[in-house]
C-alpha cells in the first residue's frame, strides 16, 4: 500500500488577508449551526418536522397578519412554490394549519394556524427564545473581542 504525502514549502501557505475576520465569521457560523441543530431537535421533540416548525413560524410571523399566502411562505422558507404547496398539504393533514381560498382572488390560498399548530408554535418559541438569548450573547462577545483588542492597541496607557 502506497501512502501519498504532500510536501509544501512554507511559502505555499499564505495566511488569509484578514485572519481575525475569518475567525469571527467561523465562530458566528458555528453558533448559528448550534442554534439550527437545537431548533431541529426541539421540533422533532415536539412531534413535528423542522420544516413544519419553519412553516408555522412563517404562517404566524412572516407577514405580520397572522396568516400567509403560499407564495409568501415560499419566499420565507426560500423554497419553490410547489415544494411549499406539498409542505402545506402535509401540515394540513397533520392538523397544524388550515387552508382557505382568498376572498378577492380565489387563486390565492391563505394558510392559517390551527389551535394545535398555534400551541406547538408557542411551546417551541419559548424554548427557542431561551436558546437564542444564550447564543446571541456568545455571538456578540465573539464580535466584540476583536474590537476591544484593536481599541486597546490604539489607546495609550494612562499614567
Instruction: List pLDDT tens digits, range 31-85.
Output: 889 999 999 999 999 999 999 999 999 999 999 999 999 999 999 999 999 999 9
* Mean pLDDT over the full length of the chain: 85
Q: State whether residue 100 is helix, strand or coil.
A: strand
What is the pTM assigned to this prediction?
A: 0.75
Average pLDDT of the segment spanning 21-35: 87
Per-residue pLDDT tens digits for 128-149: 998 888 888 877 777 776 555 5
| % residues pLDDT > 70 (the chain) | 79
The more confidently predicted of residues 133 and 3 is: 133
Contact present, 127 and 42 (Cβ < 8 Å): yes
The ranges assigned to domains in the chain are 35-144
DSSP E strands: which ranges in 1-85? 67-69
**pLDDT score at 110:** 94
Measured distance CA(101)–CA(109) in Å, rounded? 5
Q: For residue 104, is pLDDT > 80?
A: no
**pLDDT score at 129:** 92
**pLDDT score at 105:** 74
Contact present, 82 and 62 (Cβ < 8 Å): no
* Fold (CATH) for 35-144: Arc Repressor Mutant, subunit A (1.10.10)
Backbone angles phi, psi at 99, to 5 degrees: -110, 145
Q: For residue 1, is pLDDT > 80?
A: no
Amino acid at each position: 500500500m502506497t501512502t501519498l504525502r504532500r510536501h509544501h514549502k512554507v511559502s505555499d501557505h499564505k495566511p488569509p488577508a484578514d485572519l481575525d475576520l475569518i475567525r469571527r465569521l467561523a465562530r458566528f457560523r458555528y453558533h448559528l449551526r448550534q442554534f439550527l441543530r437545537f431548533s431541529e431537535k426541539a421540533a422533532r421533540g415536539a412531534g413535528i418536522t423542522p420544516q413544519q416548525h419553519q412553516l408555522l413560524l412563517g404562517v404566524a410571523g412572516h407577514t405580520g397578519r397572522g396568516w400567509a399566502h403560499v407564495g409568501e411562505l415560499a419566499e420565507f422558507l426560500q423554497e419553490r412554490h410547489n415544494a411549499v404547496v406539498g409542505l402545506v398539504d402535509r401540515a394540513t393533514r397533520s392538523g397544524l394549519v388550515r387552508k382557505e381560498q382568498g376572498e378577492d382572488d380565489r387563486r390565492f390560498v391563505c394558510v392559517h394556524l390551527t389551535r394545535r399548530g398555534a400551541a406547538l408554535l408557542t411551546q417551541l418559541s419559548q424554548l427557542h427564545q431561551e436558546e437564542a438569548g444564550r447564543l446571541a450573547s456568545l455571538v456578540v462577545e465573539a464580535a466584540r473581542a476583536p474590537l476591544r483588542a484593536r481599541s486597546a492597541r490604539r489607546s495609550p496607557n494612562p499614567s
